[in-house]
Structure 1
Amino acid sequence: MSDALDGLRLEDLRTHLVAEGVNAVHAAPLFRWLQTGHRGGFEPPLERWLERQEDTLITPLRRVLETTSEDGWTTKFLFELADGAQIESVLMGFPGRFTACLSTQVGCAMGCVFCATGQMGFRRHLKAGEIVAQAREVSRLVADRYGERVRNVVMMGMGEPLHNYDATLQALAAITDTHGMGVGPSRVTLSTVGHVPGILKLAKEPAPYTLAVSLHGADDEERGRLIPVNRRWPLAELIDAMRVYQAQKGRILVAWTIIDGVNDSPEHARKIVNLLKGLDIHVNVIPLNATEGFEGSQPESRRVIDFQRILKEAGLPATVRQRRGLDVAAGCGQLVVKSEV
C-alpha cells in the first residue's frame, strides 16, 4: 500500500491535489476529513476525484483492544497497523482536558533497562500517517464519548520520537494545524532519552513544542547503566544541547524515574541540582512503574517526597508525577506489545 494522505501537511496535500488536477481550494475540507474523520459535504470536483481513489486516503488502524483503568480517566488502546505490527496509545483524562499519549515507533532502539518498550527492542519506525491515525482515533473517541476534544498531545508512547524525527515532525504539523484537529503547538510535548542530534534539530523548528528530557542519572556511569544510549551521547553533550534548545525555546522538562536504592538518595538530588545549574528546568519525579523485565522497585513515598523537597529547596521546581493507569499497564515506561498478529 502507498503512504496514505492523512500524514501530509496541509500545504503538501494542496500540492498533491494540484498535481492530480484538482483545484487547491479543495485541500482544506479534505484535510479536515482526513485528520478528524468527520466528513462534510464536498464539492462535486472533489467527490469525483475521491471516487477514483482506492486505499491511499486514510491510514488503516484497527483497534484491537481498549482497556480502561479503575481510575475511570485513563484508557489504553492496542492498535494494529496494516502490516500486522501493533502499538499502544493512551488517553488520559483530567477535569476539563484530555491528553493523548502517542507512539512513534514499533518498539524502541534506546534500550532503557526499566522501560517495557525498551526491553521489547526495535521493530520499525512509524510513518507520519500512522502517528496521525492514533491521534485521530483517540480524538474521535473523546468527541463521541465525552463531547470534548483532545487539547494536549504527548509523544511519550512507544519509541524515541527524535529517532523518528521526520515522520514525527510531519505528523505534528498535521495534528496542530487549525484546519484539522487543531491541537495547540504549545500543548505538544516531545519526550527524549537524550537524542542529541534530534534536540539540536528541534531547537531550530519554529513550532513552540515542549521538550522533555529523561535524565534518570546525574553522572555518566550511573546514567549509562540505566540508559545505554548515554554511551553515545554522554551527559556533557546532552546538557550542552539542552542549553542550545533553551536559548531558542525556553523551559525544558526533565523526567527522573526514581528507583529504590539506585537513584533516590539525597546525594542524587543534590547532583541533579549541580548538573542543571543555570538551566530553566522543571523536574518531574516519577516513581518507578513495574515492568516484567526489570527487578527494581519504587522507593517509599517518604523518600520520594524528601527527594522532591531537596530539589525545591535548592530552587529547582519539582513535582511528583501523578500515577495513572497502572492497573492496565498504561503508566510511564509500561507500554509494550508482547505478541503481534
Structure 2
Amino acid sequence: MINLLEFPYNDLEAFVLEDLKESRFRAEQIWQWLWQKRVRSVEAMTNLSKPLRERLAAIAEVRWPSIVDAQTSKDGTVKLLLGLADNRLVETVLIPMQDRYSQCLSTQVGCAMACTFCNTGQLGFERNMTFGEMLGQVLVGRQYLEDHGLNPLKNLVFMGMGEPLLNLDNLLKVLHALPDTRGLNISWRRSMVSTVGFPDKLKILGDSELALPAISLHAPNQELRARIMPKAAKVHLDDLMAALRAYPMRPRERITFEYLLLKGVNDSLEHADQLARLVDRKRGKINLIAYNATEGMPYEAPDRAQVEAFEKRLWSHNLTAFIRRSMGSDIKAACGQLKAAAK
C-alpha cells in the first residue's frame, strides 16, 4: 500500500496525473489535506469526489509514525519514541522556547559516526529515514502539542538521531517541502541542520540555500577531534574550515558551531584559545553545551565554573558564544542522549 506522505509535491503531482488520471489541481488538494490539515485517512479528504476517494483508498493510505512512548521532562521538554512501518524506532524531541516549541528531528535510524560521547553513535547505523518519515515527525509533533494544549511548533533543528548529510537526498527534499505555504509552511529561516561536516555535501547544502548548518565541532584541533570523533575526523579540520569559509550566507547570517564540553578533555582555557583561532568571529557563533553525564560513557560533566570561564575566554577574543541550556536531560532527551529506547 502506498503511503501518500512519501511523495514530495512533484512526485505527488505525477502520481495524480499518471496513476489516478486526474487533473493537476487534485495534487494540490491532496497535499493540503496531508500537510496543512493533517488528516489521517483518504476518506477525510472531503473535497475529493467519493469515487476518487474510493479509488485512491484502494491503493494508498496516510501512515504517520506512531507514538510508542512519550516522556515529559521537569523543564517541559517532551521526548517522543516513534515507531516506523518496519517496526524500527527513532526519537524526536519537542523543546519549549518561551512562546513556542522547537523540534529536534532525526534523519537516520541509528548513526554511523560513532562519536565516543554520543548514545546514538553507539547504536550503529541501521538505515536512512525516508522523506515521509522525516517530515512525518513534524506532523506528529504539531498534533501532540495541539492535543495537549501547548504552544505551537515554530522551529526545526535536524539534530536528532543520525547524521543529516549522510541522508542528503531525502534531507534536501524535506527542506524544499517545509516552506510550502500549501503545506507545513515553515520558513527556511526556522530550520537548522546539524552535521559533523562533509565539505562536498556542505557545498550542495549551501548551493541549495535551504538551511544554515550547525557544525558539531566539539574539539579545537585535529588531534583531539580524532580522539573523540574518530569517524568525523577523517575529514581534516583544515578542510572542514575551508569549506565553511566558502559557505554562502546572506548578510548578518552566521554559522553555528556546537561545542560539547567534556570535563578534563576539551574544556581548558587553552582549548578556548585554540577554538578562538579556528572560528571566524564575523561568520561564526559558538554554542557551548555542558556534557550530560551518561551511564556507560567514559566522560564526566564539566564544572559550572569552568564552563563559564571557557565562555568568558571566548568573549575575550571577541567571539559570540553562549552557554546553551541543557533541556530534557532527566528523560535522556538532551544532546547526545537519544538512543530510541522506552523508559
Match in the other structure for 2:38: 38
2:266 alignment counterpart? 263
Matched-pair contact (CA < 8 Å) for 1:37–1:136: no
CA distance 1:15–1:65, shift in 2 (3 Å): same
Cα shift readout 1:213-262 (whole Å, capped 9, x = no counterpart): 01111111100111112342110110011111145784100000001000
Q: In the alignment, which residue of structure 1 is the partner of 2:93?
A: 90
Cα separation, 1, equivalents of 2:267 and 2:48: 64
Deviates more, 1:238-247 or 1:51-60: 51-60
Taking the aligned partners of 1:54 and 1:258, their CA distance within structure 2 comes to 53
User: For 1:302-327, what per-residue CA distance to the aligned partner results, in whole angstroms no more than 9, with x for missing partners?
Assistant: 10001001111211100000111111
Structure-2 separation of matches of 1:179 and 1:247 = 27
The answer to whether the aligner puts 1:75 opposite 2:78 as a matched pair is: yes
Cα-Cα RMSD = 1.9
Q: TM-score if structure 2 supplies the norm length?
A: 0.92
Aligned to 1:12: 11
Structure-1-length-normalised TM-score: 0.92
Q: For residue 199 of structure 2, what is the amino acid of its counterpart?
A: V
Please list, as runs of the form range in 1=range in 2, the aligned pairs for 1:112-191 lying within 5 A after superposition. 112-146=115-149, 148-191=151-194
The one-letter amino acid of 1:320's match is I
For residues 295 and 149 of structure 1, the distance between their equivalents in structure 2, rounded to whole angstroms, comes to 38
Q: In 1, are the aligned partners of 2:165 and 2:171 still within 8 Å (CA)?
A: yes
The answer (yes or no) to whether the contact 2:281–2:318 under 8 Å persists in 1 is no
**Alignment-mate amino acid for residue 170 of structure 1:** K
The Cα shift of 1:143 comes to 2.3
Q: Tell me if structure 1 keeps the 8 A contact 2:45–2:53.
A: no
C-alpha distance in structure 1 between counterparts of 2:58 and 2:275, whole Å: 54
Counterpart CA distance in 2 for 1:271 and 1:16 is 54
Shift in alpha-carbon separation, 1:115–1:269, aligned structure 2, 3 A? same
User: Displacement, 1:49?
Assistant: 2.7
Q: 1:113-136: per-residue Cα shift (whole Å, max 9, x none)?
A: 100000111111000101111110
Q: What CA distance in whole angstroms lies between the structure 1 residues aligned with 2:280 and 2:96?
A: 34
1:330 and 2:330 correspond: no
Whether 2:280 is the aligned partner of 1:312: answer no
Distance in 2 separating the partners of 1:148 and 1:329:
22
Deviations 1:190-224 (A, max 9, x none): 000122222111011032x1210011111111001
- Between the aligned partners of 1:94 and 1:146, the Cα distance in structure 2 is 15
Relative to structure 1, the CA distance from residue 186 to residue 247 in structure 2 (aligned partners, 3 Å threshold; closer, same or farther) is closer
Structure 1 unpaired stretches of 5+: none
Between 1:263-272 and 1:275-284, the stretch displaced more is 275-284
Q: Distance in 1 between matches of 2:224 and 2:274?
A: 12
| Offset from partner CA, 1:266-288 (integer Å, 9 cap, x none) | 00001011111365111000001
Q: 1:56, CA displacement in angstroms? A: 3.2
Output one character per residue of 1:17-48: Cα deviation in whole Å (capped at 9) or x when no partner. Answer: 11121111122221122224534753344x43
Contact 1:224–1:230 under 8 Å retained in 2: yes
Give the equivalent residue in structure 1 for 2:22.
Answer: 22
**CA displacement, residues 120-155 of structure 1 (integer Å, 9 cap, x when unaligned):** 111110001011111100011122322643110110
Distance 2:213 2:177 in 1: 19
Question: Aligned residues: percent identity?
Answer: 34
